[in-house]
Amino acid sequence: MLEPLLDRVKPVDLDAQNRALERQKNLTKPTRALGDLEALSIRLAGVFGTERPNPQSAAVIVCAGDHAVALEGVSAYPQAVTMGMVHNFLSGGAAVNALARSVGARVTVLNAGVMGTLEDAANLINRPVRAGARNIKLEAAMTRAECEEAIELGAEVARAEIALGADFLIAGEMGIGNTTPAAAITARLLNLEARGVTGRGTGLDDTALEHKISVIETVLSRSSTVDPLEVLCEFGGLEIAAMVGVMLEGAASKKAVLLDGFIAGAAALVADRLSPHFRPYLFASHLSAEGGHEKQLEHLALEPLLRLNMRLGEGSGAVLCIPLLRGAAATLREMATFTEASVANRGE
């Protein structure tokens, strides 16, 4: 059922990357003077298939879902905060809204499985697959059908944003307790111990952190699967599955996918395992203060642009990086060459 989506993820345009490299050599600046922006701009040339990429429009899809495992005491906040924060996103009062406005990005909320009933709203896609993921300490988060439905839902919403012009796709998230499924997915896909990928989330103390680790160990002991889709079903999270769909559709549509923090990282690991061509479309944004995030980025061979000790989720760190990617593309696209500017290059 996911094959049509996965089949659409094709390699990036290496010819365009090579043309971009040639162009970059002649731009009016010393060699490598733009540092990491240079490689970034070449990657954007590959994604957008042109040596003068012009990505501007950005869409944040905040995927929301609840987790019955939150009742196991793995979060500093009560589960009702998921619903409360969804209302906050919809009225524009959350961090991701403020940051998105400041960089001119759209925010859409996708209810992939929040507990309780949400009224329809203009910027809400209200399509809960079920009322929260099941308690992963006891059973699989989702059935295969539910998981695939959530992935397709994310892909569908991403397609709608792309139809509106989005060049940058960000999968944000809200779901009290969701660092627990993200840690389980990460531990399994990277073959790591629970302890190595478990952090304080929204602010656990030492005792609560130890408890969370033991819960995740129990979760992991329930299933030995390493198949990425099965891992997602088992340890899941409906919003994490939806994020996988957003990311895969971004790559399938040849757009730049900006990675947010730890939860998004778990979704990216799944997408990366599902498609051999996905990774070049993925751009790291910030390094989260949630420890497992660094391991995800290392595995994906991605270098974060920002190290600001953020740990909020929502897509907030990725949104902050949109101007950096726009800027990288702008240098490649708009700078004059030495010849055009009649400036002597070194040694000339």
Helix (H) or strand (E) holding 330: helix 316-334
CB of 89 to its own copies, least distance (A): 10
Under the criterion CB under 8 A, does residue 298 sit at the interface with its own copies?
Answer: no
Task: Determine the Cα–Cα distance for residues 84 and 281; give it in Å rounded to an integer.
Answer: 33
Told to judge if 348 belongs to the known catalytic residues of this protein, a careful annotator would answer no
How many binding residues for its own copies (CB under 8 A)?
A: 64
CB of 97 to its own copies, least distance (A): 7
Under the criterion CB under 8 A, does residue 208 sit at the interface with its own copies?
Answer: no
| Choice between 81 and 158, CB closer to its own copies | 81
Name the phi and psi angles at 269, rounded to 5: -60, -40
Task: Determine the Cα–Cα distance for residues 138 and 287; give it in Å rounded to an integer.
Answer: 32
At 309 the three-state DSSP class reads coil
Burial environment of residue 290 by CB neighbours within 10 A (0 to 12, 13 to 18, 19 or more): buried
Under the criterion CB under 8 A, does residue 84 sit at the interface with its own copies?
Answer: yes
At 203 the three-state DSSP class reads coil
CB of 84 to its own copies, least distance (A): 4
Name the phi and psi angles at 26, rounded to 5: -100, 5
Q: Are 54 and 41 in contact (CB under 8 A)?
A: no
Q: What contacts 124, CB < 8 A, 6 or more positions away?
A: 86, 90, 108, 109, 110, 111, 118
Site for its own copies in 306-345 (CB under 8 A): 306-312, 316, 319-320, 322-324, 326-327, 329-331, 333-336, 340-344
Among 38, 72, 149, 314, the active-site one is 314
What is the x/- site pattern for its own copies, positions 61-80, by CB under 8 A? ---------------xxx-x
Site for its own copies in 108-137 (CB under 8 A): none
Q: Are 23 and 133 in contact (CB under 8 A)?
A: no
As annotated, the active-site residues are: 314
Binding site for its own copies (CB under 8 A): 27-37, 76-78, 80-81, 84-85, 87-88, 91-95, 97-99, 101-103, 202-203, 289, 305-312, 316, 319-320, 322-324, 326-327, 329-331, 333-336, 340-344, 346-347
